[in-house]
Amino acid sequence: AQSVAQPEDQVNVAEGNPLTVKCTYSVSGNPYLFWYVQYPNRGLQFLLKYITGDNLVKGSYGFEAEFNKSQTSFHLKKPSALVSDSALYFCAVSPLMNRDDKIIFGKGTRLHILP
């Protein structure tokens, strides 16, 4: 069965430090991978996606994510965290092989950037 896991419910990082939000997935075939961010009382905003090509994907607001096929991971990273990065982050996967399959979201990871 297709699935995506975000093993950490919450991540705390001091402002200015690098941050990582973890995501692992399980799909048949090659996946499309996405990261979205949700600020309080707002809908989700697209950050970045991996379709194919370079394993390091750069996205909005200075975020990037690294696709690791052998570890089936797609961790979100940022070199220097800002307090304004505090939000709920969702990893999502959509299988490539079966185009009728649905997009699957992780449970979300709440990121707290401490001033």
Q: Which stretch binds other proteins (CB under 8 A): 16-24, 43-51, 66-74, 79-87?
A: 43-51
User: Binding other proteins by CB under 8 A: which of 2, 8, 20, 49?
Assistant: 49
Task: Report yes or no: 88 and 110 within 8 Å, Cβ to Cβ.
Answer: yes
**90 near other proteins, judged by CB under 8 A:** yes
**50 near other proteins, judged by CB under 8 A:** no
The pattern of x and - marking residues 10 through 39 that bind other proteins according to CB under 8 A reads: ----------------------x-x-x---
Ramachandran bin of 57, using left for φ above 0, alpha for ψ from -120 to 50, beta for the remaining angles: beta
User: Binding other proteins by CB under 8 A: which of 1, 43, 52, 53?
Assistant: 43
**45 near other proteins, judged by CB under 8 A:** yes
Task: Look at the chain and count its residues.
Answer: 115
**107 near other proteins, judged by CB under 8 A:** yes
**106 near other proteins, judged by CB under 8 A:** yes
> 83 phi and psi, to 5 degrees?
-60, -35
Nearest alpha-carbon partner for 4 in 114, 102, 111 = 102
> For 13, what's the count of Cα atoms within 13 Å in the CB-facing half-sphere?
23
